[in-house]
A and B are shown apart, each in its own frame.
Chain A
Amino acid sequence: MVGAAATVWPLVAQMNPDAATIAAGAPIQVDLTPIAEGQDIKVFWRGKPIYISHRTKKQIQEAQGVALSSLPDPQPDSARVKAGHDQWLVVIGICTHLGCIPIAHEGNYDGFFCPCHGSQYDSSGRIRQGPAPANLAVPPYAFLTDTKIQIG
C-alpha cells in the first residue's frame, strides 16, 4: 500500500511546475515613474498579466464610496491597495471566471471588462456584474520606494 502510493507519487508530481519554471517565477521589480495618472501598464509575472493602474481621484473615490453590501465579493478598497498608496492598484489581470484577460478602461464601472463572458470589474478590480465569482486577485507585492514595487 505504502509502496504503491510511493510509486504513484513521482508519476503525479512530475506534472507540477518544474524547477526551471519555478525559478523563472522569482519576484520582479517595476518602476512606477513612467505611468501617468489615469494610465496603466501590463507586466507579466509567472506568465500572468499584471495590471498596474495609476488611478485618478475620481476612480479612487468611486472605489471607496461603494456600499460593501452591494458587492458580490465584499472587500473594502483599502484591503486591495497598500496603505498610503491609494492611487496604485495592482491586480492580476485574469478573470476569475474562466481565465481570460479583462480589458482595462472598459465596462460600466470605470474598471475592467472581460470580453469572454461579460464580467465587469470596478476601479478596485472588484467583481460587479457577470458570471465571475470573485474579485481580481491582488498579487503579493510591496513598495520598495514610493515609485518602485516588487511583485512576488
Chain B
Amino acid sequence: MSGPSDFQPSNPALKWIERRLPIFGLIHSSFVAYPTPRNLNYWWTFGAILSMMLALQILTGVILAMHYTPHADLAFKSVELIVRDVNYGWLLRNMHACGASMFFFAVYIHMFRGLYYGSYKEPREVLWILGVIIYLLMMATGFMGYVLPWGQMSFWGATVITNLFSAVPYFGESIVTLLWGGYSVGNPTLNRFFSLHYLLPFVIAGVVVLHVWALHVAGQNNPAGVEAKTEKDTVPFTPYATIKDAFGVSCFLIFFAWFIFYMPNYLGDADNYIPANPGVTPAHIVPEWYYLPFYAILRSIPNKLAGVVAMFSAIIILCFLPWLDSARTRSSKYRPLAKQFFWIFVVVCILLGYLGSQPPEGIYVIAGRILTVCYFAYFLIVLPLLARIETPRPVPNSIADDVLAKSKGRAATAASVMVALVLAGGLFAGSTQNAKAEEGGNAPPAQSWSFSGPFGKYDRGSLQRGLKVYKEVCSACHSLNYIAFRNLADAGGPGYSEAQAAALAAEYKIKDGPNDQGEMFERPGRPADYFPAPFPNEQAARAANGGAAPPDLSLITKARSYKRGFPQFVIDFFSQYQEQGPDYVDAILQGFEDKVPAGVTIPEGSYYNKYFPGHSIKMPKPLSDGQVTFDDGSPATVKQYAHDVTTFLMWAAEPHMEERKRIGMQVFFFLVIFAILMYFTKRKVWADAH
C-alpha cells in the first residue's frame, strides 16, 4: 500500500488482470516486498494473531448463525441444540466463545506492546487511534455476543450495561427505551443485538484495513524505536515476517486449543447455563473477564453519572495518548523511569480486573478507588511529567546497530516472558471464578471422577446406574428437558443399544396431537422424544413444591459452581480442573443433616443442607440407603447413588465430552509438531538476518 509497485506477474492471465486492476502488485508490495524492521520481537506477531482471530470469529460466527434462533423463548434452547445435535456444533461453539476471550487476550497484549514501545507516537497517531476504535467496536461486539445465549448472565449483563445509558441527563430514560425496544430487556432487545452482533465484525474488518493501511504508510515501529533508514535495517515481509508470524500463530493456537478442548467453561460463568429469568437477579453480576477493569472503575465511583463517565473516559483517554506523552524517545527500553511506571500500570490494570470480579463492599471499594486514581494518574500525570523530567538513555543509531548489540539470550527471555504472561492471563481470567462466591455454604469436598483430566471418560456402569437413580427418584420432581431417549444410545453415553433406548422410550407415555378430531392423545414414547417433565409448567412445579420450582437437571452440573479462591483457580488452569459443578451436586445430595447446628435457623418447610448456600434448601433429603437396587451389585448407599447420578448428569450436560477430549489430543499433537516445524523453518530463514 506504499505507492505503485513495480511488481509484474509473469503469467499472461494474471498480467491481463494486473493491467486492469493492480491487485497483485498491491499484495506484493504490502505483504511480500514490504520492508519490516529486522529487530522485531515476538510481541509483534500479535498483529497477525489478531487478524487470524478476527477471521476465525467471523467464520465460526457466520456458521453458528445458521443454527441459532434469536428469540427470547428459543435462544437458550437453540444454543443447547447446536452443542448437542449439530455435527461438531460443540466445537464451533467453543471456538467462538473461547475465541472471544482469546481475541481480547491478544488485543490487550497488542495494546500493552504499543504502550511500552511508544508505537502511538508521531507519525503513528492515526494508526493508534484507529486501533482504539477497533477496540471499542470489539467491546460492543463482545458484549452483544454474550447476550445471545440468553442465560442469566446474558440477560442481567444486558440489563446492567444498557442501564448505563440511563445516567445521561434528561434523555437517559428515552435512550434506554430506544435501545430495548420495550419497557425492559426482552425479545426486541435480543433481536437487535443479534443483528448488530452480526454486523459489527465486518465494520471491525473494515477499520482493520484502515489500520493496516496506516501501518504501511508510517512503517512499523520496532523495539529500538528508531526509524528504519537504510536497506540494512529492514528485511522483506515475506519470508521473514511471514514465517515468524506463522510460528507465533501456531504457539497461540496451542494456548487457544487448551481452552477449546479441555476447559471450555473456565472463562465463562456457571450462571449462564441457567435460562434468562427476568424475575431473579443473580447474586453477583459479573461481566466477562475482559471488561472487569472498566467495571471496577465504574463501581468505585459512588455517583452514577460520574461512574459511567469515568468508565468511558478510561477507554477514550487512550485516543489522547500520543499528545499526553510528549517524550521524544519512543521505546521504554531507553526510558528507565517510564519502563518502571509501565509495569506498575500493568499491575494496576490486572488488580482492577480482580476487583471488578469481587463484590463491591468494604476493602474492595477502597482499593478500587485508589487503583482508579492510579489508572488515570498514569495518563494524566505520570506520562506528561516524565516527558519533562526524565533523561532517557541513548538510543542506537540504527536498527542494524540494535540487532548487532543484542546478546543471544533473547529466546530465553521471550520464553520466560511468555510463561509469566500465561500465568498472569490465567490469574486474571480465573478471577471471575472468584465472583461466583457462594456465601454461607461449605466448600464441597473434591471427588475423584472418571471424566476429569485430559483423558477422562465416562464410566458406563456409573452412567447406567445414574440413569436408574434419576428415573426412580429425581424424575418425580426434576425434568431433563434436553435429553432425548435416542441420546442414551449415542457414542460416549451410557452405552445402550438403539433397541434398548427404544424399549426404554416405550415405557413412557408421551402427549401428542392434535389428531384428526382435534384432540390431544397419549402414545408410547419413541427414541426421538425427550424425557417428559414431571410438571406441565413452572407454576405447577412451584405450587407442588412449596413455592420453589425444582430446576431442570440437563445442565445442572454446569450451572452450579462454588468459589475456588486464589490461588486455587490458577492451579485449576494447569490441572484442567473443571469439576466444581459435579462436586457441588454430589455434595448437596449427601449434605442433608437431621440435626441443625446451633445458630442456624431453618424456616418451616425447608431442610438443612451443609453445602447449600445459606443451608436452607426446599428439597427434602432425596436419597436414602437401599432406595434403589442395582443389578450389578454396586453398594446401595447414598454415597454411591450420589456419585452415579452426578456422573449421569455430567454426561447430560456435556454429552460430547469424550469426543471433545479425544479430538483435543489429536489437535494438540498436530499443533505441537506444527509449531516445532515452524520454529526450525523460522530459524533457517532468519539464519542470515541475525
Contacts and interface: CB of A to CB of B under 8 A. Distances in A.
Interface string A4-22: 0000000010011110010
A36 interface: no
B160 A98 contact: yes
A97 interface: yes
A25 to B, nearest CB: 6
B304 A44 contact: no
Nearest to A48: B184
Interface string A24-60: 0100000000000000001010111100000000000
Interface of B: 156, 159-160, 162-164, 166, 177-186, 188, 192, 278-285, 299, 302-305, 307, 359-361
A99 B180 CA distance: 13
B283 A115 contact: yes
A15 B179 contact: yes
A84 to B, nearest CB: 29
With a 10 A CB-CB cut-off, give which of A21, A49, A117 has the most chain B CB atoms.
A117
A48 B186 CA distance: 11
Contacts of A17: 177, 180-183, 188
B281 A15 contact: no
Contacts of B160: 98-100, 116
Given A118-B360, A131-B302, A101 B183 contact: no
B159 A46 contact: no
Nearest to B161: A98
A100 B156 CA distance: 7
A48 B304 contact: no
Nearest to A116: B285
Interface in A106-152: 114-118, 131-133
Given A115-B281, A117-B299, A15 B186 contact: no
Given A48-B184, A131-B302, 15 more contacts: A15-B178, A16-B177, A46-B184, A47-B182, A47-B184, A99-B159, A99-B163, A99-B166, A101-B279, A115-B283, A116-B281, A117-B299, A117-B360, A131-B360, A133-B303
Contacts of B192: 15
A47 B278 contact: yes
A47 B156 CA distance: 14
30 contacts: A15-B178, A15-B179, A15-B192, A16-B181, A17-B188, A18-B181, A21-B183, A25-B183, A42-B279, A44-B278, A44-B279, A46-B184, A47-B185, A48-B183, A49-B278, A97-B163, A98-B160, A98-B163, A99-B163, A100-B156, A100-B281, A100-B285, A115-B284, A116-B156, A116-B160, A118-B360, A118-B361, A131-B303, A131-B307, A131-B360
Nearest to A131: B302
Nearest to B164: A98
A82 to B, nearest CB: 23
B165 to A, nearest CB: 10
Size category of the A interface is 20 to 34
A40 B305 CA distance: 32
Contacts of A132: 304
The 9 A-B pairs with the shortest beta carbon distances in the complex, nearest first, are: A47-B184, A46-B183, A99-B163, A100-B281, A98-B160, A98-B163, A101-B281, A99-B159, A133-B304
Contacts of B280: 101
A98 B279 CA distance: 15
Most A Cβ at <10 Å: residue of B162, B192, B284, B360: B360
A15 B177 CA distance: 9
Contacts of B181: 15-18, 21
A131 B183 contact: no
B162 to A, nearest CB: 8
A132 B163 CA distance: 12
B40 to A, nearest CB: 44
Contact of A100 (B159, B180, B186, B307): B159
B559 to A, nearest CB: 18
B284 A97 contact: no
Contacts of B279: 42, 44, 49, 101
A25 B181 CA distance: 13
B299 A131 contact: yes
B363 to A, nearest CB: 14
B149 to A, nearest CB: 20
Contacts of B360: 117-118, 131
A130 B307 CA distance: 13
Contacts of B282: 115
A50 B360 CA distance: 26
B188 A131 contact: no
Which of B164, B179, B188, B281: most chain A Cβ within 10 A?
B281
A51 to B, nearest CB: 12
B179 A131 contact: no
B188 A97 contact: no
Contacts of B163: 97-99
B289 to A, nearest CB: 18
A39 B680 CA distance: 73
Most B Cβ at <10 Å: residue of A16, A46, A116: A116
A14 B330 CA distance: 49
A16 B180 CA distance: 8
Contacts of A131: 299, 302-304, 307, 360
A98 B178 contact: no
B178 A16 contact: yes
Contacts of B299: 117, 131
A97 to B, nearest CB: 6
A18 B156 contact: no
Nearest to A42: B279
Contacts of A16: 177-178, 181
A94 to B, nearest CB: 8
Contacts of A46: 182-184
Contacts of B183: 17, 21, 25, 46-48
A58 B178 CA distance: 41
Nearest to A100: B281
A16 B179 CA distance: 8
Contacts of B186: 47
A21 B188 CA distance: 9
Contacts of A114: 281
B283 A21 contact: no
A137 to B, nearest CB: 10
Contact of B182 (A21, A116, A117, A118): A21
Contacts of B302: 131
A21 B285 CA distance: 27
Contacts of B159: 98-100
Contacts of A117: 299, 360
A98 B164 CA distance: 7
A21 B72 CA distance: 14
A38 to B, nearest CB: 14
A122 B304 CA distance: 20
Nearest to B160: A98
Contacts of A18: 181, 188
Contacts of A116: 156, 160, 281, 284-285
Contacts of B278: 44, 47, 49
A62 to B, nearest CB: 23
Contacts of B180: 17
A132 B178 CA distance: 22
Nearest to A17: B182
A120 to B, nearest CB: 12
A133 B178 CA distance: 22
Contacts of A101: 279-281
A19 to B, nearest CB: 12
A133 B302 CA distance: 9
B164 to A, nearest CB: 7
